[in-house]
């Protein structure tokens, strides 16, 4: 694999018969830099690197303080949830491929960072220490606005806004596809729209789109991969958790409980921060960046 070192470069990493799109930011030609300082592998939230301002602000903050980053898309990004191929567990080999790319670029240390859904992926990947042979290169995890359990968070939010259809109705429709009864063939996957999923109106911004199969793997009650509390206790590297006090998606108790699970499991380096802002951290990106930089410098300066 040929690796080009430069700043702000859009790259494509071959993966099976497809490719992984990513933005390589702040790569330097100094070998000492890439061997001693970690690179930040940044994972997207829902719908990929489109809607979240954090995805656009943080790379420049990291680069200004001497940290390179790779912002990648996965199968869950953009149209993955809409067309049936965005299966949560299938993103793990993709993240591993991105880590392989960074190792071949010369980096010896990788910190996995994610916002919301990206935090779920980051923690799940870091917990898979026995499945990916090269994982020792991962030296830290940064999880921002990450739910305790994605299925529980979505179910609670849908109930609060009286979603149409309800969580239970979607479960009934999705089960024959992902978990058919004995002797039955799996039903055919199909897309659907959930109205009043993010708010109490029928406006498009308050709606969500999935297929039954992608919903099952991400938000269904048996979606083990996104039950973050089941995985964070297996993460042995330093963890930074940042929560927005006015988050209308992830509750404060979820954030506090996640940190407790990690510490109770024996991780002696779990750091938690609160910020007076909402889920997207609008208006507080600089402060979020400074928290991240201080945490990185304390461990990797």
Contacts of 47 (CB under 8 A, 6+ apart): 77, 78, 81
Per-residue pLDDT for 220 more than 50? yes
Mean pLDDT score, 191-195: 95
Q: Are residues 117 and 64 in the same domain?
A: yes
DSSP tag of 195: B
Of 239, 206, 209, 229, the closest CA to residue 147 belongs to 229
Q: Are residues 277 and 186 in the same domain?
A: no
Task: Name all contacts of 208-213 with Cβ < 8 Å and 24+ positions apart.
Answer: 209/81, 209/82, 210/81, 210/82, 211/81, 211/82, 211/83, 211/84, 212/170, 212/173, 212/174, 212/177, 212/178, 212/187, 213/84, 213/87, 213/174, 213/177, 213/178, 213/189
Could you tell me where the beta strands, DSSP code E, fall in 4-137?
A: 9-15, 18-25, 39-43, 69-72, 110-115
Q: Compare 275 and 183 and report the one with higher pLDDT.
A: 275
Q: Are residues 164 and 274 in the same domain?
A: no
Q: What is the pLDDT of residues 139-179, one digit of tens each?
A: 999 999 999 999 999 999 999 999 999 999 999 999 988 77
Per-residue pLDDT for 266 more than 70? yes
The residue range of the domain holding 24 is: 9-149+227-300
Per-residue pLDDT for 27 more than 70? no
Could you tell me where the beta strands, DSSP code E, fall in 190-237?
A: 191-194, 208-211
Q: How confident is the model at residue 6 (pLDDT cuts 50, 70, 90)?
A: very low
Structural domain contains residue 3: no
What is the predicted pLDDT for the residue at 134?
56
What is the predicted pLDDT for the residue at 3?
45
Per-residue pLDDT for 101 more than 50? yes
Per-residue pLDDT for 251 more than 80? yes
Residues facing 141 on adjacent strands: 112, 239
Query: In the listed set 173, 201, 218, which residue is the last one of a domain according to the structure?
Result: 218
Q: Are residues 44 and 178 in the same domain?
A: no
Mean pLDDT of the chain: 86
Structural domain contains residue 2: no
3-state helix, strand, coil in the chain (%, to 5): 40, 20, 40
What is the predicted pLDDT for the residue at 28?
61
Q: Are residues 67 and 189 in the same domain?
A: no
What is the number of domains present in the chain?
2
Structural domain contains residue 82: yes
Q: What predicted TM-score, i.e. pTM, was given to this entire model?
A: 0.90
Q: How far apart are CA 14 and CA 189, in angstroms?
A: 27
Q: Are residues 32 and 164 in the same domain?
A: no
Query: In the listed set 180, 201, 218, which residue is the last one of a domain according to the structure?
Result: 218
Structural domain contains residue 83: yes
Q: Are residues 136 and 269 in the same domain?
A: yes
Helix axes 91-104, 117-127, angle to 10 degrees: 70
For the four alpha carbons of 57, 63, 66 and 70, in that order, the dihedral sign comes to positive
Per-residue pLDDT for 87 more than 60? yes
**CA dist 119 → 49, 145, 232, 258 (Å):** 14, 7, 11, 12
Q: Are residues 250 and 143 in the same domain?
A: yes
Structural domain contains residue 157: yes
């Amino acid at each position: 694999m040929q690796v080009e070192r430069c700043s702000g470069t859009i790259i494509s990493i071959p993966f099976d018969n497809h490719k992984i799109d990513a933005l390589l930011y702040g790569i330097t030609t100094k070998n000492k830099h890439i061997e001693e300082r970690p690179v930040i592998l940044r994972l997207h939230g829902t719908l990929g690197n489109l809607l979240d301002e954090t995805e656009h602000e943080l790379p420049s903050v990291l680069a200004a303080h001497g940290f390179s980053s790779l912002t990648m898309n996965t199968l869950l990004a953009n149209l993955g949830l809409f067309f049936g191929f965005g299966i949560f567990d299938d993103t793990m080999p993709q993240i591993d491929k991105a880590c392989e790319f960074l190792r071949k670029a010369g980096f010896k240390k990788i910190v996995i960072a994610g916002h919301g859904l990206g935090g779920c992926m980051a923690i799940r990947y870091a917990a898979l220490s026995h499945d990916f042979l090269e994982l020792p290169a991962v030296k830290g995890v940064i999880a921002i606005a990450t739910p305790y359990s994605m299925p529980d968070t979505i179910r609670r939010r849908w109930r609060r806004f009286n979603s149409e259809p309800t969580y239970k109705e979607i479960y009934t429709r999705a089960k024959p596809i992902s978990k058919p009864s004995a002797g039955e063939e799996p039903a055919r996957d199909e897309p659907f729209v959930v109205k009043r999923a993010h708010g109490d109106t029928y406006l498009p911004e308050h709606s969500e789109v999935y297929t039954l199969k992608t919903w099952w793997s991400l938000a269904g009650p048996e979606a083990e991969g996104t039950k973050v509390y089941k995985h964070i206790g297996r993460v042995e590297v330093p963890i930074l958790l940042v929560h927005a006090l006015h988050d209308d998606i992830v509750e404060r108790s979820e954030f506090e409980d996640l940190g407790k699970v990690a510490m109770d499991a024996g991780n002696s380096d779990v750091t938690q921060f609160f910020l007076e802002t909402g889920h997207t951290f609008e208006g507080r990106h600089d402060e979020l960046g400074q928290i991240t930089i201080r945490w990185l410098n304390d461990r990797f300066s």
